[in-house]
Chains A and B, each alone.
Chain A
Amino acid sequence: MKKFILSFFSVILLSGCAIFEQSGPIHIKIHDSENETIKEVSQHIEGTKELYDSVVVAADSTLVISYKVKHLYRFEMKSIEKKMKNWLEEKYPEKEIVLSSDYKIFIELFEFSDQWNKGNLNEKDALDEVEKIIQLKKEMT
């Protein structure tokens, strides 16, 4: 019984640590024309001290960005998001911006990038996938 409890806890603790691991930064562009945008955005994120991991996906007219906030700054998540959003909107007024610090969005985007890099997705599928993630993000309850 004791062994069981111990192993249960260690599994949980170890899997817990995995969440905070850095898996990015990852940049995905569906069209080559977005190279410049992605570079700028990721540079900005790296320059922000509160964030530590990011996935940036640029598709057609939308820019999907997911980032992780360092644990100490989680209380300021709202203001960080606001700042980011303002910066992005100012910089790319013609684009629809989807910004999220949600872990679920992050792993979905990560998975998507994996698929994309492996070449499993064609352009249409990729856009559908991005649309799905955006829908997930907009879901409230």
Chain B
Amino acid sequence: MTGNWIKQSKDAADQHEIKRPVLKNCIKAFLVGGFICFVGQVVTLILILFFPFTEQTASNPTVAIMVFFSMLLTGFGFYQKLGQFAGAGSAVPVTGFGNAVVSAAIEHRSEGLVLGVGGNIFKLAGSVIVFGVISAFFLALIKTILIQIGVI
């Protein structure tokens, strides 16, 4: 009998569930993500035009500047609202990474600098770094092997 009610309740809940508006979210994410990349492109151009950076070398400082921007936006409480609006659009660019780091740092400030901020700053972004390093390692391994064999 209880099992029956569980199933019926689940059906009732599913029936009333509000679905994520996937298409609308995609469009919003596209626009906002595009805008963030556009800002990044402007930063790159400024670096190329006014500083001694080439297209090759400008990418690293651009990333740093974009992370700095997202840091400010996070600190002023704006990024959270942007994130709710844009979803992946604001999470996927490097600014999302900056937001994940900074929000954790702000959050754990109350537990002190070493154990709070230091210990938790990569709480969310840590897995990005871990899996980034792991996948880079394996890709490098595959490439090395292929070169040794002589495929590439």
A contact set with B: CB distance below 8 Å:
12, 15-16, 19, 102-105, 107, 136-137, 139-141
Query: Among A104, A140, A141, which residue has its beta carbon within 8 angstroms of that of B48?
Result: A104
Q: Tell me which of B55-63, B64-72, B109-117, B123-131 binds A.
A: B55-63
**Which residues of chain A are within 8 angstroms of B42 by Cβ–Cβ distance?**
12, 16
Q: In the assembled complex, how far is the CB of residue A125 from the closest CB belonging to chain B, in whole angstroms?
A: 18
B30 touches A (CB below 8 Å): no
What residues on B are CB-neighbors of A16 within 8 Å? 42, 45
- State A137–B56 Cα separation when bound (angstroms): 9
Q: Given A12-B42, A19-B45, check contact A136 B52 (CB 8 Å).
A: yes
Q: List 23 A-B contacts (CB under 8 A).
A: A12-B42, A15-B45, A16-B42, A102-B54, A102-B55, A102-B56, A103-B48, A104-B48, A104-B53, A104-B54, A104-B55, A104-B58, A105-B54, A107-B48, A107-B49, A136-B52, A136-B54, A137-B54, A139-B54, A139-B57, A141-B56, A141-B57, A141-B60
Cα of A102 to Cα of B55 in the assembled complex, Å:
6
Minimum distance in angstroms from B58 CB to a CB of chain A: 8
Instruction: Kindly provide the distance from the CB of A11 to the nearest chain B CB, expressed in whole angstroms.
Output: 10
In chain B, what residue has the closest Cβ to A12?
B42
Q: Which residues of A contact B57 (CB under 8 A)?
A: 139-141
Residues of B within 8 A of A15 (CB): 45
